[in-house]
Amino acid sequence: MTDAFAERLLAWYDVSGRKDLPWHRERTPYRIWLSEVMLQQTQVTTVIPYFERFVARFPNVSALARAELDHVLALWTGLGYYARARNLHAAAQVIEREHRGDLPRDLDALLRLPGIGRSTAGAILAAAFDVRAPILDGNVKRVLARYHAVSGYPGSKPTADALWRHADAHTPIERVAAYTQAVMDLGALVCRRRAPDCAGCPVHDGCAAFAQGAVDRYPEPRPKRALPVRATRMFVLQDASGRCLLERRPLNGLWGGLWTLPQRDANAELATLLDELGLDSRTASATSTLPSFRHTFTHFHLDIEPVRAALAAPAPTIADVDRYRWWSSRDNEPIGLTAPAVRLLAAVGASPVAASLLAEVVGASLLAIAPEPAQ
């Protein structure tokens, strides 16, 4: 049975919904899954070029499962929330091993895969397999919180439970793929976070927030708390040919698996780092200063003080080759970089690739990317 909300939404979708996004053109479970993961926390317009590059390089689960994690992270650089890319890669390997390369058509099996939560699983089932399953992504939370005037922060369990109940009740048995896209589109195009178009909304007759004249009150924001501030030094160490020293982050934790500039305590000295690396401190000297800047994660601000230094000689070998590498964009090898590394490499002209990526992906506001979760 289709309720009035779903019926109106589907009629609206037939006329005004988005039907030509890249993941609609060839609607495979893999492409739907990838799009859903990329769309978590990220706008459609930002996702599209990332999606196109990703599927061109990894067109199916098997290709992704076989890929080097570095190459996966490289295609994610600038999108943020890197745990998504690591989970995608890990899940592809499980799917390849346990499901012969096909995404399972079963909610519990999908939920067992790394990085797939209830909403992503629902979207895969509905959009790729046409199986009735509710979704509750950010857009849908906003629509339902307003339509039913659900109070409380959607991140809290009681509010999330209430929203899931509404999501489930509205999900139709027929045309579930179209409905899933319709409710996401309504949130993105009409019931926008700011300035929703209630007059043009197909469900405004039944909308409780609209009837109360209180659309702005829903959904309630995350309870405010001041973010702690941490400080660090990042060392931009270049050899005589302009190559920069990069350090790989541990796989588990913040920026897991990405390459970044060596990062130490706020008071760390260049000489101490060189010593740690087994390099003669007399061969390096501090050069021009770079301005400090702030990178914000969901749980804290990171104030970064860059320290730039030059080595008089070509890059010396560093014993720990898994952790350190000398890198230049001329190496032509894709690697995943942290956002501050992209910024600093571009600032010292060490990376035209990074600079163009910077411009293409995030314009002038790299540091204004949505805060990353502290993973």
SS percent in the chain: helix, strand, coil, step 5: 45, 10, 40
Angle between helix axes 157-170 and 138-147 (nearest 10 degrees) is 90
- Burial letters 121-148, b for 16+ CB under 10 A, else e: bbbbbbbbbeebbbbbbbbbbbbbbbbb
Least gap, CB of 152 to ligand SF4 (angstroms): 17
159's CB contacts (< 8 A; 6+ apart) are: 145, 150, 151, 152, 153, 219, 220
Of the candidates 36, 96, 247, 372, the residue annotated as catalytic is 36
Angle at 160 between CA 85 and CA 158, to 5 degrees: 140
| Residue number with CB closer to ligand SF4 (178 or 203) | 203
Residues in 183-212 at the binding interface with ligand SF4, rule: CB under 6 A: 190-191, 196, 198, 201, 203-204, 207, 209-210
In the complex with ligand SF4, the residue whose CB is nearer, 76 or 164, is 164
Give whichever of 215 and 353 is closer to ligand SF4, judged by the CB atom: 215
With CB under 6 A as the contact rule, the residue among 147, 164, 255, 327 that binds ligand SF4 is: 147
Q: Select 33 or 164, whichever has its Cβ closest to ligand SF4.
A: 164
CA nearest to 32, candidates 46, 17, 47, 14: 47
Cβ atoms of 290 and 369 closer than 8 Å? no
Closer CB to ligand SF4, 179 or 327, in the complex: 179
Strand, helix or coil for residue 106? coil
β-bridge pairing 229-238 and 301-311 = parallel
**The one among 84, 146, 166, 295 contacting ligand SF4 by CB under 6 A:** 146
CB of 4 to ligand SF4, least distance (A): 13
Site residues (CB under 6 A) for ligand SF4, limited to 290-349:
none
Q: Does 13 bind ligand SF4 (CB under 6 A)?
A: no
Is 36 one of the annotated active-site residues of the chain?
yes
Q: How many CB atoms lie within 10 A of CB 210?
A: 20
C-alpha span between 20 and 36 (Å, rounded): 15
- Contact pattern for ligand SF4 over residues 205 through 244, marking x by CB under 6 A: --x-xx----x-----------------------------
Instruction: Using the rule CB under 6 A, give the single segment among 139-147, 176-184, 307-315, 364-372 that binds ligand SF4.
Output: 139-147
- Footprint of ligand SF4 (CB under 6 A): 143, 146-147, 190-191, 196, 198, 201, 203-204, 207, 209-210, 215
Residues with catalytic function = 36
